[in-house]
Structure 1
Amino acid sequence: MNTKDAFRDYLQLEKKYSPHTVNAYLNDLIYFETFNKLHFNQENVEQVNYSQIRNWIVSLVDANLSNVSVNRKIASLKAFYKFLLKIKQIDVSPLLKHKALKTPKILQIPFSEKEVLDVLVHMQSPVGFEEIRNKLIIDLFYTTGMRRTELIHIKISNVNLSGHTIKVLGKRNKERILPVLPIITEQFSLYVRERLCLESIVDSEYFFLTKKGLKLNDSFVYRLINTYFSTVSEKVKKSPHILRHTFATHLLNNGADLNSVKELLGHSSLASTQIYTHNSLSELKKVYQETHPRNKK
């Protein structure tokens, strides 16, 4: 087995990364390998020095890649050299002293409660398979905070209607069970009846399907959310991730504690969940000003 194949196995089996992440890491490695062959006539990326990597970074910046994209590609290389250290193929990583490029902090603006309500009211009487499915997807994102890939990979066996729960497979193959509101359970039953009436079902193990009976994909789900929320919101980003963001923000605004939100989102640490707290600041200020004795006249 060559080093690249061994690296793939390491990412899949030990790190338990998703197929999408594994492919991204390997593609970045191949791209860097090609760059070195072309500019340094060197085929073995295991023997490169930081100067060569820096030349690659400069070429990426010159190609107008954002600092975020460049940092992601460097993360792929870091993982590769960390793997080589692990199997004792190198003694020191050429990226040991590398510092990530500075990136602007992008404020993820959640939907307001009114915007979400406007979409759901517009969809309150869905007719037919696609409308019923679409409403259930939006409701699930908003009431569970699950990730797009988690929703896509829900299987029939993951749904427990009587127990009002759903099991999802998160990052690094970590399973978690999410509670489902009774009102959403009713929609599940409606969707299941419509699903049974599809002319053909190809990907039968998956819960959410297209009208052709195929498993959903990332682009399909993104377009679905973007289409519905474009009618009620002028926010720049209208995506499944923003709905996940909205779920967390609205829970915090209404008194949920950070640890509970962390568990629902499937975060491994509170640090990941804390990014949502800034959106609750306006609500906290309002409560603070209304309740603090020193602010009472």
Structure 2
Amino acid sequence: MSAWEGLLAEYEEHLRADRGLSEHTVRAYLGDLRDLAAHAPDPRRVTLAALRSWLAGMASGGVASATVQRRVACIRGFFGWARREGFVDADPAARLQAPKRGRRLPKVITRSAVDEVMEAAAARLADADDPVAARDLAIVELLYSSGLRVSELVGIGTADVDLDGRVVRVMGKGGKERVVPIGVPAARAVDAWLARRPEIATEKSPDRLFLGARGGPLDPRVARRVVHGATAAAGPGAEIGPHGLRHAMATHLLDGGADLRSVQEMLGHASVGTTQVYTHVSSERLREAFRQAHPRA
């Protein structure tokens, strides 16, 4: 592993400074590379055959195909960088192919289930009447309204929200900024939270829209727990995480007639191909409705 350490330190700096990747992605990539280091001790002598052997071991060990795909992307990116920077003489991953995987459609809750989620969160606020409950309702409403990622949500500053124009400015993957519209219920929930925010904020609080219960920055794990708790309160089968609300927002927009490019822009997808999975979700829902309702289906 010692032969890898200096190289991994250089690559980590590249991932953070040059590519602007999130902390979660950087950790995942470094973990993948350390796993390879255990299989191939000298990064300068790694061969295509060794990489294929490493992948084969994952497949036989039952590693999920999505994980294998990510590791292939990670390794190709790493050796491409190492070759360009002169750390290795050749790129052994240039011809490395990831195994194909079937398309798995995301779980999407219905519009009526979303309504139940929001009603349950509002009822909790009415019962508790505390600033954390107001914050939680704003989190759930904003995530569904805007389709934000959790990493984007926790990074929003108070100045990034324009409630009059009903838009929010977010910093997405790769440091790309975008402006996303939000609906009336989300704007109202955020406005109500902002009125209660001073009850939590301290002199040391960051200038973030959402805060933790003690006034610090909101932890992404807390945001996920908030969403899971709010959706679970809506009844069996409704519980999803923040990404589930993102899926629901995109699918419901397309169901309502929004065009694919607009949804791509709102979600912050670099490629429209990533957004197209939601057209498959909508098509599947249409086929299911046809099968259930048409007398000659």
Sort the TM-score into its range (normalised by shorter chain). 0.7 to 0.9
User: CA offset at residue 93 of structure 1?
Assistant: 1.9
Partner deviation per Cα, 1:121-179 (whole Å, 9 max, x = no partner): 22335221121111111111111111111101111221223332211110101000112
Structure 1 pair 96/178, CA: closer, same or farther in 2 (3 Å)?
same
Structure 1 pair 237/121, CA: closer, same or farther in 2 (3 Å)?
closer
Matched, 1:274 2:272: no
**Partner AA of 1:130 in structure 2:** V
User: CA offset at residue 198 of structure 1?
Assistant: 1.7
Residues of 2 paired with 1:283 and 1:63: CA distance?
A: 35
1:16 is matched with: 20
2:294 is matched with: none
* Alignment equivalent of 2:120, drawn from 114, 119, 122: 122
Structure 1 pair 201/247, CA: closer, same or farther in 2 (3 Å)?
farther
Structure 1 pair 36/206, CA: closer, same or farther in 2 (3 Å)?
same
Stretch of structure 1 that moved more, 171-180 or 230-239: 230-239
Are the aligned partners of 2:109 and 2:238 in contact in 1 as well (CA < 8 Å)? no
2:34 is matched with: 30
Are the aligned partners of 2:72 and 2:97 in contact in 1 as well (CA < 8 Å)? no
**Partner AA of 2:8 in structure 1:** K
**Partner AA of 1:238 in structure 2:** I
1:94 is matched with: 92
User: CA offset at residue 49 of structure 1?
Assistant: 1.0
Partner deviation per Cα, 1:33-90 (whole Å, 9 max, x = no partner): 23333xxxxxx21221122223332443454422222222232211110102222444
Are the aligned partners of 2:168 and 2:182 in contact in 1 as well (CA < 8 Å)? yes
Structure 2 unmatched runs, 5+: 292-297
User: CA offset at residue 193 of structure 1?
Assistant: 2.0
* Alignment equivalent of 2:262, drawn from 246, 260, 263: 260
Equivalent pairs counted in the alignment come to 284
Residues of 2 paired with 1:256 and 1:59: CA distance?
A: 44
Structure 1 pair 87/226, CA: closer, same or farther in 2 (3 Å)?
same
Residues of 2 paired with 1:153 and 1:198: CA distance?
A: 18
1:294 is matched with: none
Are the aligned partners of 2:76 and 2:96 in contact in 1 as well (CA < 8 Å)? no
Partner deviation per Cα, 1:185-222 (whole Å, 9 max, x = no partner): 22222111211012746442222112111222232222
What pairs up with 1:179-190 in 2 under 5 angstroms? Answer: 179-190=181-192
* Alignment equivalent of 1:140, drawn from 142, 156, 162: 142
**Partner AA of 2:17 in structure 1:** L
Partner deviation per Cα, 1:233-282 (whole Å, 9 max, x = no partner): 54497111111010011111111111111111112222111110122225
Identity in percent: 27
Stretch of structure 1 that moved more, 264-273 or 278-287: 278-287
Partner deviation per Cα, 1:90-119 (whole Å, 9 max, x = no partner): 454212222212433222121100100011
* Alignment equivalent of 1:53, drawn from 36, 51, 54: 51
Structure 1 pair 239/58, CA: closer, same or farther in 2 (3 Å)?
same
User: CA offset at residue 286 of structure 1?
Assistant: 9.4
